[in-house]
Amino acid sequence: MSYTVLARKWRPKRFAEVVGQQHVVQALVNSLSAERVHHAYLFAGTRGVGKTTVARILAKALNCTQGVVAEPCGECAACVAIDEGRFVDLLEVDAASRTRVDDTRELLDNVQYAPTQGRFKIYLIDEVHMLSNHSFNALLKTLEEPPPHVKFLLATTDPQKLPVTVLSRCLQFNLKRLTPTQIQQQLERIVAAEDVAADSDALAALSRGAEGSMRDALSLLDQAIAFGGGNVERAAVDAMLGSIDHSHIVAFLEALAAGDGSALLNEVAALDEQAPNYSVVLDKLMAALQRIAVHQLVGSNADSDDYKALLDLATTMTPEDVQLYYQIAVQGRRDLSACADWRSAFEMTLLRMLAFRPGAPTEVGKAGSSSSEKAADNRKSRATSSATRSQKAQSPAANGSENDSPDNSASTTKTAAVSDDAATDAWPEMLAAADVRGAARQLAENCIIASRGERELKLILASDKAHLNTDQVRSRLEAALASQVGRRLRLTIAEGSPSVPTPAEQRKANESARMRQAREAIESDPMVKGFQTAFDAVVDVDTIEPIEAAEGTTQ
């Protein structure tokens, strides 16, 4: 027995049956009603959204025996012949298989002849962007000024590849991708008419799997009916599509919210037994994060059981964490194709979320706790060492003094250590410990600390340096300081007159003192004086530059 697939059986035959393309249908119906019919139409859109279907319905409306009508009757000889694909005056051409210019010329040789059966001779060229440049050139003149009895209906999935000379000669209609809701409603009507038992959740999964294509949705429905033995159930559809259980996504997010690295990796191991497509897993993870972000912003209600489990996560995860996880997932999605082992790449994406989230707890599993503590100790040690070197370089005691004592050395180290309490009075030391560079460093060195709280730092910037205080530079400085103190920090900079010298002024003063010392050392040097006496020489003071010896003394 013969069987007609659902995609062909349920292809719309009238404008009223077209789903999700009301903006195109309305324009065509109005133009047909007013008999303002253009000679060339271009229908563009992704696969399976109804481009060829709308073109065939338009061909029926133009050749219906009742006249040029807004809605073809579907019963006359012309309408029936077009539906059955045997209407002589409707020439359907697959441009993908007829790309040569000779094919196009052969096609256009019969343009001058009047239609045999219908009112118009209609050329329906599918995937028209596949034609060669020479073919387009051969088509242009006829497309611009065809005989009154000829209409061109062009369809393409890639209108950007069409020459602008062709686009300018056509009325262009862009067909939209269908929403999952529109597809599901149509599937529900079809399974009811076909007397097929189907779960609403299963049809929803098929609608999402179709990715906006009604034809793909009907093909998947055909496959699901065969896979389920005449019934369409959610479990069977998930198995057929290779979908993963939504509980895995929830488990990933719960482990991230708890900062539990062990639970995160255990869930990856459990999921790997199903041999999933990790790009699809990341897509679902991003979709879940998007739903959480929307709920946190507007408090929308969950529309399915799958997403009700996300409501609790919306209260335990901060909006900043959600946004960070989403961006890391997007980057990880791009990185998958560059890795031979997709599971490892997926694990690294999840661990990156765990490692870089703001205010992450110090304990991330047993191994994570030890590593975190070691990293914190190393950062503190580097900060103390750097600040100590800066204090030594700027301190007069370090520049040639021979009266250093163990007590003085210990005192210097204690002052240079960047603690929360001492940072207010030791802004230069704090900058020396922080990784601040470029314009952000220049801005910081022209400020002093006005006040400091647990989460806020207020600075005063010299008024003549206000041009340094831009949003981008201030953000970089804020990020560097927050990284140095180990927590989020809000930076506020006000213009004014610093009550104490800024680090830039201190450095300038130190450099002036060093320059003066270097000039005095050169002028008092016995060898230099000897040259001046013997050769009547003059010292060029502009060429004198102080240098730092290994011991830190100026020469």
The DSSP element (H or E) to which 418 belongs, if any, is: none
Spatial distance between the Cα atoms of 95 and 91, rounded to a whole number of angstroms: 12
Same domain, residue pair 19 and 87? yes
Q: Based on the domain organization, do 346 and 395 belong to the same domain? A: no
pLDDT of residue 554: 43
Q: Is residue 538 part of a domain?
A: no
Query: Which residue is associated with the tokens 């990933």?
Result: 252
**Residue 392 sits in a domain of what CATH number?**
3.30.300.150
The CA-based angle 468-473-475, given to 5 degrees, is: 135
3 state SS for 42-84: EEECCCCCCHHHHHHHHHHHHHCCCCCCCCCCCCCHHHHHHHH
The side-by-side arrangement of strands in the sheet containing 490-496 is 447-452, 456-462, 490-496
Look up the CATH number of the domain holding residue 115: 3.40.50.300
3-state secondary structure 113-158: CCCCCCCCEEEEEECHHHCCHHHHHHHHHHHHCCCCCEEEEEEECC
Q: What is the dihedral of CA 74, 77, 80, 81, to 10 degrees?
A: -140
150 CB-near residues (< 8 Å, 6+ apart): 39, 111, 120, 121, 122, 123, 142
- Residue 161 is encoded by which pair of tokens? 């590849």
Cβ(182)–Cβ(19) below 8 Å: yes
Q: What amino acid is encoded at 14 in this protein?
A: R
The encoded tokens of residue 34 equal: 């007013």
457 in any annotated domain: yes
158 and 201 together in one domain? no
- Number of Cβ within a 10 Å radius of residue 244: 17
Q: Which residue has the tokens 């919306």?
A: 314
Of the three residues 151, 174, 197, the one that is the final residue of a domain is: 174
* Paired sense of beta strands 197-198 and 171-174, if any: unpaired
In a domain, 527, yes or no: no
Task: Establish if 31 belongs to a structural domain.
Answer: yes
For 195-229, the three-class secondary structure string (H helix, E strand, C coil) is CCEECHHHHHHHHHHCCCCHHHHHHHHHHHHHHCC
DSSP β-bridge partners for residue 548: 554
Same domain for 384 and 483, yes or no, is yes
Phi, psi of 498 (to 5 degrees): -60, 135
User: Same structural domain for residues 170 and 188?
Assistant: no
Tally of domains in the chain: 4
Tokens of 396: 């007069």
Number of neighbouring beta carbons within 10 Å of residue 186: 21
What is the C-alpha separation between 215 and 304, in angstroms, rounded?
A: 25
Classify residue 535: in a domain, yes or no. no
Is 33 in the same domain as 113? Answer: yes
Q: Which residue type does 288 have?
A: A
Residues 50 and 139 in one domain: yes
Residue 422 lies in a domain: yes
Residues 55 and 145 in one domain: yes
Helix, strand or coil for residue 470? coil
Q: Are residues 316 and 461 in the same domain?
A: no
- 133 plus 189 within the same structural domain: no
Q: What is the CATH number of the domain that holds 308?
A: 1.20.272.10
Which of 174, 197, 212 terminates a domain? The answer is 174
* 228, 260: one domain: no
Domain housing 81? 6-174
Whether residue 268 is contained in a domain is answered as yes
pTM above threshold 0.85: no
> Residue 186 is part of a domain; what is its CATH number?
1.10.8.60
- For residues 190 and 169, membership in a common domain is answered with no
What's the start-to-end Cα distance of the chain, in Å?
103
Contacts of 239 (CB under 8 A, 6+ apart): 227
Q: Who's near 300: CB < 8 A, 6+ residues apart?
A: 294
CB-based contact 231:197 (threshold 8 Å): yes
Kindly give the confidence (pLDDT) of every residue in the chain, 555 residues in length, as a single tens digit, with 9 standing for 90 and above.
Answer: 578 899 999 999 999 999 999 999 999 999 999 989 999 999 999 999 999 999 999 999 999 988 889 999 888 999 999 998 899 999 998 888 877 888 888 888 888 888 888 899 999 999 999 988 888 888 888 888 889 999 999 999 999 999 999 999 999 999 999 999 999 999 999 999 999 999 898 999 899 888 899 999 999 999 999 988 888 998 888 888 877 777 888 889 988 888 888 898 999 998 888 888 888 889 889 988 998 888 888 776 555 555 667 777 888 888 888 999 999 999 998 888 888 888 899 999 999 998 887 765 444 444 444 444 444 454 444 444 444 444 444 444 434 434 443 343 333 333 333 344 444 456 777 787 777 877 888 888 888 888 877 778 888 888 888 888 888 888 888 888 888 777 777 888 888 888 788 888 887 777 777 777 777 777 778 887 777 777 777 777 667 776 654 344 444
In a domain, 425, yes or no: yes
Task: Please state, in angstroms and rounded to a whole number, the distance separating the CA atoms of residues 528 and 101.
Answer: 90
